[in-house]
């Protein structure tokens, strides 16, 4: 009996799910178009600080282009107290009964029935009075806060991007249904409010409360509206450019302020239409406590605290500043590629975030030039993306509109793959066209579509206008190959016996060609190369030719025998290169290898690991090749090498580990000698030192452990932020593990405490850790992380750690 009930239930549920999936229609029709929102948000009078509810009012000016509509459908899910429709003269057209409003939880649609149709192309005002709620997650109007000296301060931050506007006010939440917004917000006297635009005036509404009135925004998408209620202090000028943070952190926002200012000037020059002429004079960066990302609201960009505030000795390391440089360049680019020029639908998201991720790496101002972001892009973004884009799960950049419909699908679109592949493909076009042609196209594109919406073809049309005539290529096919097809190709390089002809083949690169992916896909591939006859790695990104889709091979002939050849210079194009053995061995000969720039060395290392992972070459060949690393001191090849080794190292047995340590010791001979205690080095130098320390100590290299201990004793309280976690972790591995605990117990900064906990999990005293510390000292969420870290950090102890976990499984669960 019970069984059949369950079965019935299962059947009913799956039936519901199926019909939902088929019938749910999330998109709004275009029959009603809004042009203006007048919004008032009044936090409850009864509250002490910031109340958890607010009274909302919104008056939406709209028009219809259809003569027979019987209802207006928009988005929103609220408790309503009034719904009225006025005609263009402000005369009541319909008092809509609240009970006749239809709300659908799944699609978030709100339907207003009309008693008589609206006159075509005439303005009406749809007015709602409703009750809104403050959220404690990152959706809609969010209550967050911060603590200084044991005192808590509340902060209200909004996050409407990408799909949360309908949680804040009834609206037409579709990026192409742009409108202007006017916002009125109440606040207690000790707080201040900032929003997208200038504060126009403030009115006293009694009870120690004030209403702030903001200027009308430019025409923009609903998800760009924002406000922050706080006790923040501004660095800079609120009617121009300012960074806002807790007053206690004012002194620590100088770096982010200067980066913001410089980057803004650089974009103003580059894009021709300066920021202010886009339609909004103010630009504010504000801290969104607890948020771990940034949001590009027009005029009010919110950032996580660590991106704007650099606390001396805590968050002012190279890594922190690099992250700030990136985030600011990224979010600011979106003022043009997102707010002014907007995607027509989320399926084209790469058109905006791809440019943001591109400029993040290629536009950073001089304060950030130390970070060599262009070179980092290859190992951090491009190679990561190539790694993810080679299986049945690979998706094309441009998706079908029908595939991206529900809020969940829209949120999923915003992932690092779309960012990184978008940026990689844009970089490829940029490098082929050359800077000047590319910039010309971008300027005219931004100008034509200012305040409008775009699809990929709109961008392509502008790229085509300035595309160089030679070598010939069918641009429509080339653009489509890398945006509408999933995945990417590999080019196989063979050489003739007389070393005068190089023969190229292409195929789609897949880890497993049998996994159901379309292995027959082909691509239009730009071929760039250099040889020992004409060593030219830079400023040489114009393709020699294209590998067209209909050709079976491409041949390159030379007048005399060549010694070596490198393809895909700077890895500026989106493919991998497999060199046949005779070529590879010459590339690596001691006299040749360092003629190849570090980006291309990193590329070769990364490709080799991935080809080995895919079973196309032997790992023995890879490790043989990696022996060249014993002469390598540059960061990028090491980064690629360790990334590749990680996959291999995870599979080593405890018996194999000592051999691995010996191998590491050999190949790191020179790089490790560059590690020094004075960390005043340039960023890549510091990154490389941290990388070497974390690997060598993890695999129990004696010199590494000694060095870390020494570094710790020299500077017991605060190693510099870049080194800190690695050093604390290394120290935890040695007998000084209790020292790190003592530091933890004295520490008050929450982020720093997390860092220390991660470091403590490196201890080899796993019994004490698992029994005492994990159970009694580490707060709950920290435990899972602790367990995961302790075995990741001590690969040789995996078996005893696992046994101890099993012994204590009851206590743990």
Which residues of this chain interact with ligand NAG, rule CB under 6 A? Answer: 35-36, 38, 40, 61, 123, 182, 184, 248, 251, 492, 494, 578, 580-581, 742-743, 746
Q: How far is CA 555 from CA 293, 336, 501, 569, 730, in A?
A: 47, 43, 7, 18, 52
383-404 burial, b at 16+ Cβ within 10 Å, e below that, comes to bbbbbebbeeebebbbbeeeeb
Helix orientation angle between 350-362 and 416-433, rounded to the nearest 10 degrees: 70
Among 199, 335, 324, 212, residue whose Cα is nearest residue 259 = 324
Q: Which is nearer to ligand NAG, 507 or 548 (CB)?
A: 507
R_g of the chain computed on alpha carbons: 29
- Phi/psi for 244 (5° steps) reads -115, 130
Comparing CB distances to ligand NAG, the nearer of 250 and 642 is: 250
CB of 36 to ligand NAG, least distance (A): 4
Nearer to ligand NAG, 606 or 632 (CB): 606
Could you tell me the smallest distance in angstroms from the CB atom of residue 501 to ligand NAG?
11
Whose Cβ is closer to ligand NAG: residue 288's or residue 743's? Answer: 743
CB of 495 to ligand NAG, least distance (A): 8
Please report, for residues 60, 109, 426, the alpha-carbon distance to residue 73 in angstroms, rounded to integers and kept in the order given.
Answer: 13, 7, 38
∠ CA 168-172-174 to the nearest 5 degrees?
105
Least distance to ligand NAG, CB of residue 88, Å: 6
User: Considering beta carbons, is residue 248 or 534 the nearer one to ligand NAG?
Assistant: 248
Encoded tokens for 745:
């117990």
Round to whole Å and give the CA distance between 331 and 575.
Answer: 28
Nearer to ligand NAG, 32 or 578 (CB): 578
CB under 8 Å to 214, separation ≥6 — which residues? 182, 183, 184, 185, 195, 196, 197, 198, 199, 200
Of 493 and 667, nearer to ligand NAG (C-beta) is: 493
CB of 513 to ligand NAG, least distance (A): 15
The whole-angstrom separation of Cα 353 and Cα 312 is 32
Which is closer to ligand NAG, CB of 178 or CB of 698? 178
Phi-psi region of 570 (alpha: psi -120 to 50; beta: other; left: phi over 0): left
State the minimum distance, in angstroms, from the CB of residue 320 to ligand NAG. 18
Smallest gap from residue 196 Cβ to ligand NAG (A):
16
Cα(first)–Cα(last) distance of the chain, in Å?
A: 34
Q: How far is the CB of 561 from ligand NAG (least distance, A)?
A: 17
Handedness of CA 9, 12, 15, 16 (dihedral sign): negative
CB 809 → ligand NAG: shortest distance, Å?
33
121 versus 813: smaller Cβ distance to ligand NAG: 121
Helix (H) or strand (E) holding 113: strand 109-113
* Angle of the 780-793 helix axis to the 798-807 helix axis, nearest 10: 150
Closest CB 219 distance from ligand NAG, rounded Å: 9
Structure-block tokens of residue 390 = 């080679």
Of 131 and 248, which CB lies nearer to ligand NAG in the complex structure?
Answer: 248
- Cβ-count burial of 105 within 10 angstroms (0-12 exposed, 13-18 middle, 19+ buried)? exposed
Q: Which is nearer to ligand NAG, 419 or 712 (CB)?
A: 712
**Smallest distance, ligand NAG to C-beta of residue 396, A:** 28
Nearest distance from residue 43's CB to ligand NAG, in Å? 16
Q: Which CB, 695 or 744, lies closer to ligand NAG?
A: 744
Torsion of CA 108, 113, 117, 119, to 10 degrees: -50
Which residue(s) pair with 283 in the sheet? Answer: 241
3-state secondary structure 713-767: HHCCCCCCHHHHHHHHHHHHHCCCHHHHHHHHHHCCCHHHHHHHHHHHCCCCCHH
């Amino acid at each position: 009996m019970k069984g059949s009930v369950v079965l019935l239930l299962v059947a009913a549920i799956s039936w519901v799910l199926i019909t939902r999936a088929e019938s749910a229609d999330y998109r709004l029709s275009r029959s009603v178009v809004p042009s203006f929102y007048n919004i008032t948000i009044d936090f409850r009078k009864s509250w002490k600080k910031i109340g958890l509810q607010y009274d909302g009012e919104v008056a939406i000016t709209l028009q219809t282009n259809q003569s027979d509509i019987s209802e207006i459908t928009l988005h929103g899910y609220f408790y309503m107290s009034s719904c009225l429709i006025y005609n263009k003269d402000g005369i009541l057209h319909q008092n809509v009964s609240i009970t006749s409003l239809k709300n659908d939880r799944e699609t978030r649609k709100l339907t207003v029935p009309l008693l008589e149709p609206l006159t075509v192309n005439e303005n009406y005002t749809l007015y709602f009075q409703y009750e809104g709620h403050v959220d404690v997650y990152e959706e809609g109007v969010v209550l967050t806060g911060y603590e200084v000296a044991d005192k808590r301060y509340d902060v209200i931050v909004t996050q409407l991007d990408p799909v949360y506007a309908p949680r804040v006010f009834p609206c037409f939440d579709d990026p192409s249904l742009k409108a202007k917004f006017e916002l009125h917000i109440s606040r207690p006297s000790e707080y201040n409010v900032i929003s997208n635009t200038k504060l126009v005036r403030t009115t006293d509404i009694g009870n120690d409360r004030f209403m702030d009135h903001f200027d009308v925004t430019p025409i923009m998408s609903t998800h760009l509206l924002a406000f922050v209620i706080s006790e923040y202090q501004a660095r800079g000028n609120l009617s121009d450019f300012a960074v806002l943070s807790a007053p206690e952190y004012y002194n620590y926002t100088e770096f982010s302020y200067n980066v913001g200012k410089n980057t803004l000037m650089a974009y103003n020059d580059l894009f021709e239409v300066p920021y202010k002429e886009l339609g909004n004079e103010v630009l504010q960066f504000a801290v969104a406590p607890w948020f771990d990302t940034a949001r590009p609201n027009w005029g009010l960009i919110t950032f996580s605290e660590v991106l704007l505030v650099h606390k001396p000795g805590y968050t002012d390391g190279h890594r922190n500043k690099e992250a700030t440089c990136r985030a600011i360049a990224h979010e600011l680019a979106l003022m043009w590629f997102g707010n002014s020029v907007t995607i027509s639908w989320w399926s084209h998201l790469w058109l905006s975030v791809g440019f943001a991720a591109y400029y993040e790496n290629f536009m950073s101002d001089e304060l950030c030039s130390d970070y060599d972001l262009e070179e980092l892009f290859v190992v951090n973004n491009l190679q990561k993306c190539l790694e993810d884009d080679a299986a049945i799960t690979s998706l094309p950049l441009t998706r079908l509109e029908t595939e991206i419909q529900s809020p969940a699908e829209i949120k999923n679109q915003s992932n690092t793959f779309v960012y990184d592949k978008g940026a990689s493909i844009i970089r490829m076009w940029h490098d082929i066209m050359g800077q000047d042609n590319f910039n010309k196209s971008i300027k005219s594109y931004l100008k034509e579509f200012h305040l409008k919406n775009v699809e990929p073809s709109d961008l392509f049309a502008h790229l085509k206008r300035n595309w160089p005539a030679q070598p010939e290529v069918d641009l429509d096919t080339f653009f489509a190959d890398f945006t509408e097809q999933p995945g990417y190709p590999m080019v196989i390089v063979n050489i003739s016996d007389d070393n005068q002809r190089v023969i190229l083949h292409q195929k789609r690169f897949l880890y497993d060609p049998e996994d159901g992916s379309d292995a027959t896909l082909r691509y239009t591939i730009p071929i760039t190369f250099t040889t020992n006859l004409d060593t030219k790695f830079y400023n040489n990104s114009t393709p020699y030719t294209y590998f067209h889709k209909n050709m079976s091979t491409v041949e390159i002939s030379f007048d005399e025998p060549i010694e070596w050849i490198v393809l895909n210079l700077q890895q500026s194009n989106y493919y991998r290169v497999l060199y046949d053995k005779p070529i590879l061995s010459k590339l690596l000969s001691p006299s040749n290898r360092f003629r190849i720039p570090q980006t291309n060395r990193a590329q070769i290392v990364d490709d080799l690991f991935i080809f080995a992972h895919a079973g196309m070459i032997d790992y023995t060949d890879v490790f043989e090749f990696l022996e060249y690393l014993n002469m390598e001191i540059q960061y990028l090849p090491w980064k690629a090498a360790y990334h590749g080794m990680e996959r291999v190292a995870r599979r080593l047995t405890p018996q194999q580990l000592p051999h691995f340590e010996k191998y590491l010791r050999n190949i790191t001979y020179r790089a490790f000698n560059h590690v020094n205690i004075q960390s005043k080095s340039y960023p890549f130098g510091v990154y490389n030192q941290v990388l070497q320390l974390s690997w060598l100590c993890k695999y129990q290299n004696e010199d590494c452990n000694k060095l870390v201990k020494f570094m710790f004793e020299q500077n017991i309280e605060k190693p510099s932020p870049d080194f800190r976690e690695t050093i604390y972790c290394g120290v935890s591995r040695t007998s000084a593990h209790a020292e790190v605990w003592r530091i933890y117990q004295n520490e008050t900064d929450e982020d720093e405490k997390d860092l220390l906990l991660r470091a403590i999990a490196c201890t080899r005293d796993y019994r004490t850790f698992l029994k005492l510390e994990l159970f009694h000292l580490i707060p709950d969420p920290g435990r899972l992380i602790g367990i995961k870290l302790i075995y990741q950090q001590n690969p040789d102890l995996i078996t005893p750690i696992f046994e101890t976990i099993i012994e204590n499984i009851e206590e743990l669960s």
